[in-house]
Chains A and B, each alone.
Chain A
Amino acid sequence: MEDKKVRIILAKLGLDDHSRPLYVLSKAFRDAGMEVINLGPFQTPELVVKAAVDEDADAIGLSFHTVSYIGWIGRVMKVLKMKKREDILLFIGGAIPEEDEEAIEDAGVKGVFRPGTSLEEITDSIISTVKRERWRVVEAKP
């Protein structure tokens, strides 16, 4: 169990081609000991979920530069539900207004990372959420 690594799919959906975060995050996640499959931009919800299932991933991380996250998240959730793979955790990051955060989390997204969040905060949050909610690891209080 100790050696098990958190495995994450990184992608951007649709035509939003601001891919810089994917490369910065890939490196940060790998440096933190995670396994990263970076699909890059121009993905559809179907392609991303298929990759997550095929690669046995714990989580999907999507980066958004436009307001279309609202439309895309719903579609990803729908595909996960259709495949009965809601156990795969969804995280998103990008230019997201604060007032949207609650509704996005209500929709089932496990973490929303807004501008100004450090790479360390993002990495820690994803690893601990996967351990807690997916692997059901109870961490001892220090």
Chain B
Amino acid sequence: MGHGKFTDDLRKIKGDLKTQSGYDVKEVYVPDDIANLDFEGDIGMPGTFPFVRGTYPRMYREKLWVRGATPGSVRYAQDEGKTEEEAMEEMLEKAIVTTGLRSSGDCHQLATVDPDHPLVGPDIGNCGGPLFAAWQYLHGKLGWYAKLMARSTQGFVLELGNACGPADVCQFTMMIATMETLGMDITKLRGNMVNDPLHVHIIRSMSYKQPLEVGFRVSTDAMEWCVKNTPLFRPTNGGCAYNMRESGINTIQELAFRFGNYIEYTDEMVRRGISFESWGHRPAIALSGEIDFFETICKLRAARRIYARLATERYGADPKTLRCPPCNTNLAGDSMTLQQPIFNVIRNTIEAIASVLGGVNGMELKHYTEAISPPSPEAVTVSSAIEAIIADEANIPLVADPLGGSYYVEWLTTRIESDVMAYLQKILDMGGMREVIKTGWLQEEVEKAAQERQRELEERQKIKVGLNAYQSLLDWPIKLPMLRRESGNPYEPWGPTQKSDWEEWETFKRNRDLSQIKPALEHLYQVAKSDKNLIRAMVEAWKANASIGEVMGVIRAGMGFSYDQFEMVPVPEFLELSWR
């Protein structure tokens, strides 16, 4: 295939040459395209207002981005006869550049119901590790995670990536209960949680029927509590832009929804008497690292300038003392394909370079297994190597914002910013994010976007190599080590790990002392009925060995909702009698 044919074919298929979000771009950009930009006010220096060039003055010379790993392979290695702790140690050692660990819960944790809920069935342990009680950290299989809590007080970053607000808050409060029980210093706990209870209602996935009011209350209580008690722990990323983007929206919507949610949380913190100066910079700006190279770079640059403008114009912050939050990407899962998984390594690399050129302070790479399963240990190794090569072989991080001043990059950054501000204003004029979720306007916008993405792929307006174009590249399938199936009969509904998860749940249930749980849950119920902060009462309930379904059930009931949001499980008998 000659070079000429390559571009001709592409043009024929795609018609107009547009960016991923539909920007018509010119063949070349010139000084006139950015004539309206003022260096001091609109661009400036890294680490200073308006932060378009980066969070810190010396950027990567000051601190390289946080390199994370997902513990998916922990559960895999366990099936080979290793304990979860041995497997975790091995994984952290293999992924030598790891400076943080992101954990995600399984479906029942995300839904905040117990493993014996009728909807869990064969889903126990799927999508992540099952977490139902702080007891697992103290006495169960998750003892290794308690060791990581100790490490996090010395700088290791623990990220809670459950995303659904209450699921994150449950894990966070279980960690606090564990650390207090083991005598660790919670003021030194380092990490962050996604904790965005609004986005799950926007994307119509992961809402698990959690009432919006319950999610918002639990999550904002945690945000307030963290500001006062765990100063090194970032209690939300202000809007899970990544998950929203994965549902099919474009760059403009991704940023508008993220900052729309950020405004909801920030207004609430201000209402509770927390100053913007102590709050505004705490939520990290976490975006999707998309495959459109320049759009991703410019989106990251635009996001920091949008933050700076909102901080000064909406919340009256002083540009001279304003602090910029860290800016992270989670590389785009929906850019990855099942066809020829090795191509995903290339996509990962492009998205990671774009993220670094956009000035991220943290990055979560995807793995070549992404389209079909959690990562195999081999896939984790490859993704770690991508980061190491970008940093230490290619020398990309030597200079801060190396693309700053490019006519095209500055034009696109500014264009994205102004389009986001207009779209965001439209949402604010309709009453803000919570309001447009309630009216269903937002869900319709997402619905339209999802249909549009599918149409673009089917009509080949968006190219995915090996999926809807360049099929000849599938002729020689390249075999890569994928996540191996758990040993045992693959058509058994449960593998050995799931069986041991279930056994752990039964052991926990059998050995609890109900006379301790009852008063703790009754107290939590009273707090939920009042307008007091829930967090301390949640921590005490975990210490008394309550389960996740009970803790969230009692909060839901206290706030006037059904104990089980799916209305399939009644209030446990030992509780029912006591609070009436």
B126 close to A17 (CB less than 8 A): no
Cβ of A18 within 8 Å of any chain B Cβ, yes or no, is yes
One of A16, A18, A114, A119 near B123 (C-beta < 8 A): A16
Q: Which one, B103-111, B278-286, B526-534, is touching chain A?
A: B103-111
Q: Tell me the complex Cα distance, A49–B538, Å.
A: 39
Report the minimal beta-carbon distance from B244 to chain A, rounded to whole angstroms.
12
Q: Which one, A66-74, A124-132, A134-142, is touching chain B?
A: A66-74
B371 close to A115 (CB less than 8 A): yes
One of A14, A17, A72, A95 near B205 (C-beta < 8 A): A17
Cβ of A103 within 8 Å of any chain B Cβ, yes or no, is yes
Residue-wise interface mask of B (452-464) relative to A, using a CB-CB cutoff of 8 A (1 in contact, 0 not): 0010001000000
B450 close to A23 (CB less than 8 A): yes
A66 close to B447 (CB less than 8 A): no
B493 close to A14 (CB less than 8 A): no
Cβ of A30 within 8 Å of any chain B Cβ, yes or no, is no
A119 close to B454 (CB less than 8 A): yes
Having A14-B119, A19-B205, A95-B372, one finds 6 other A-B pairs with CB under 8 Å, namely A15-B110, A17-B207, A74-B493, A95-B338, A115-B338, A116-B467
Q: Tell me the complex Cα distance, A66–B127, Å.
A: 7
Q: Tell me the complex Cα distance, A13–B120, Å.
A: 9
B122 close to A72 (CB less than 8 A): yes
Cβ of B437 within 8 Å of any chain A Cβ, yes or no, is no
> For residue B122, which residues in chain A have a CB less than 8 angstroms away from its CB?
14, 68, 70-72, 75
A15 close to B111 (CB less than 8 A): yes
Report the minimal beta-carbon distance from B335 to chain A, rounded to whole angstroms.
13
One of A13, A20, A44, A97 near B247 (C-beta < 8 A): A20
Assuming the contacts A17-B207, A71-B122, A118-B458, asked whether A27 and B451 have C-beta atoms less than 8 A apart, the reply is: yes
B204 close to A19 (CB less than 8 A): yes
Give the residue among B110, B122, B338, B372 with the most A Cβ atoms within 10 A.
B122
Report the minimal beta-carbon distance from B73 to chain A, rounded to whole angstroms.
15
Assuming the contacts A20-B247, A70-B490, A119-B458, asked whether A42 and B123 have C-beta atoms less than 8 A apart, the reply is: no
The count of residues in chain A whose C-beta lies closer than 8 Å to any C-beta of chain B is 31
B121 close to A75 (CB less than 8 A): yes
> For residue A27, which residues in chain B have a CB less than 8 angstroms away from its CB?
451
Residue of A nearest to B447 (CB): A23
Report the minimal beta-carbon distance from B18 to chain A, rounded to whole angstroms.
22
Cβ of A82 within 8 Å of any chain B Cβ, yes or no, is no
One of A14, A17, A103 near B120 (C-beta < 8 A): A14
B493 close to A116 (CB less than 8 A): no
Q: Tell me the complex Cα distance, A42–B248, Å.
A: 22
Report the minimal beta-carbon distance from A75 to chain B, rounded to whole angstroms.
7
> For residue B113, which residues in chain A have a CB less than 8 angstroms away from its CB?
15
Q: Tell me the complex Cα distance, A71–B122, Å.
A: 5
Report the minimal beta-carbon distance from B310 to chain A, rounded to whole angstroms.
30
A20 close to B121 (CB less than 8 A): no
Q: Which of A52-86 contact B (CB under 8 A)?
A: 66-68, 70-72, 74-75
Q: Tell me the complex Cα distance, A71–B120, Å.
A: 11
Residue of B nearest to A118 (CB): B458
Residue of A nearest to B370 (CB): A95
Report the minimal beta-carbon distance from A3 to chain B, rounded to whole angstroms.
28
Give the residue among A14, A15, A70, A118 with the most B Cβ atoms within 10 A.
A15
B107 close to A16 (CB less than 8 A): yes
Cβ of B561 within 8 Å of any chain A Cβ, yes or no, is no
Q: Tell me the complex Cα distance, A17–B247, Å.
A: 12
Q: Tell me the complex Cα distance, A14–B454, Å.
A: 25
Could you tell me which A residues sit within 8 Å of B by CB distance?
A: 13-20, 23-24, 27, 42, 44, 66-68, 70-72, 74-75, 95, 97, 100, 103, 114-116, 118-120
Residue-wise interface mask of B (419-453) relative to A, using a CB-CB cutoff of 8 A (1 in contact, 0 not): 00000000000000000000000000001001100
Q: Tell me the complex Cα distance, A75–B371, Å.
A: 26
Report the minimal beta-carbon distance from A116 to chain B, rounded to whole angstroms.
6
A14 close to B107 (CB less than 8 A): yes
Q: Tell me the complex Cα distance, A119–B450, Å.
A: 14
Cβ of B312 within 8 Å of any chain A Cβ, yes or no, is no
> For residue A18, which residues in chain B have a CB less than 8 angstroms away from its CB?
205
| 17 contacting pairs across A/B (C-beta < 8 A) | A15-B107, A15-B111, A15-B208, A17-B206, A24-B451, A42-B208, A66-B123, A67-B126, A71-B121, A71-B493, A72-B121, A74-B491, A95-B338, A95-B371, A97-B372, A97-B373, A116-B339
B450 close to A15 (CB less than 8 A): no
Q: Tell me the complex Cα distance, A73–B248, Å.
A: 28
> For residue A67, which residues in chain B have a CB less than 8 angstroms away from its CB?
126, 373
Cβ of B337 within 8 Å of any chain A Cβ, yes or no, is yes
> For residue A42, which residues in chain B have a CB less than 8 angstroms away from its CB?
119, 208-209, 566
The 6 closest A-B pairs by CB, nearest first: A71-B122, A71-B493, A15-B107, A66-B126, A68-B122, A115-B338
Report the minimal beta-carbon distance from B539 to chain A, rounded to whole angstroms.
26
Report the minimal beta-carbon distance from B347 to chain A, rounded to whole angstroms.
15
> For residue A16, which residues in chain B have a CB less than 8 angstroms away from its CB?
107, 123, 126-127
Cβ of B118 within 8 Å of any chain A Cβ, yes or no, is yes
Residue of A nearest to B108 (CB): A15
Q: Tell me the complex Cα distance, A70–B126, Å.
A: 12
> For residue A20, which residues in chain B have a CB less than 8 angstroms away from its CB?
204-205, 247-248, 450
B118 close to A44 (CB less than 8 A): yes
Assuming the contacts A19-B205, A42-B119, A71-B122, asked whether A24 and B372 have C-beta atoms less than 8 A apart, the reply is: no
Q: Tell me the complex Cα distance, A71–B378, Å.
A: 27
Q: Tell me the complex Cα distance, A27–B452, Å.
A: 12
Cβ of B494 within 8 Å of any chain A Cβ, yes or no, is yes
Q: Tell me the complex Cα distance, A71–B494, Å.
A: 7
A66 close to B107 (CB less than 8 A): yes
> For residue B108, which residues in chain A have a CB less than 8 angstroms away from its CB?
15
A68 close to B126 (CB less than 8 A): yes
Report the minimal beta-carbon distance from A18 to chain B, rounded to whole angstroms.
5
A68 close to B338 (CB less than 8 A): no
Residue of B nearest to A43 (CB): B119
Residue of A nearest to B374 (CB): A67
Q: Which of B103-151 contact A (CB under 8 A)?
A: 107-108, 110-111, 113, 118-123, 126-127
A15 close to B371 (CB less than 8 A): no
> For residue B119, which residues in chain A have a CB less than 8 angstroms away from its CB?
14-15, 42, 44
Report the minimal beta-carbon distance from A39 to chain B, rounded to whole angstroms.
13
One of B123, B338, B482, B490 near A15 (C-beta < 8 A): B123
> For residue B247, which residues in chain A have a CB less than 8 angstroms away from its CB?
20
Assuming the contacts A17-B208, A27-B451, A119-B454, asked whether A70 and B371 have C-beta atoms less than 8 A apart, the reply is: no
Q: Tell me the complex Cα distance, A112–B491, Å.
A: 16
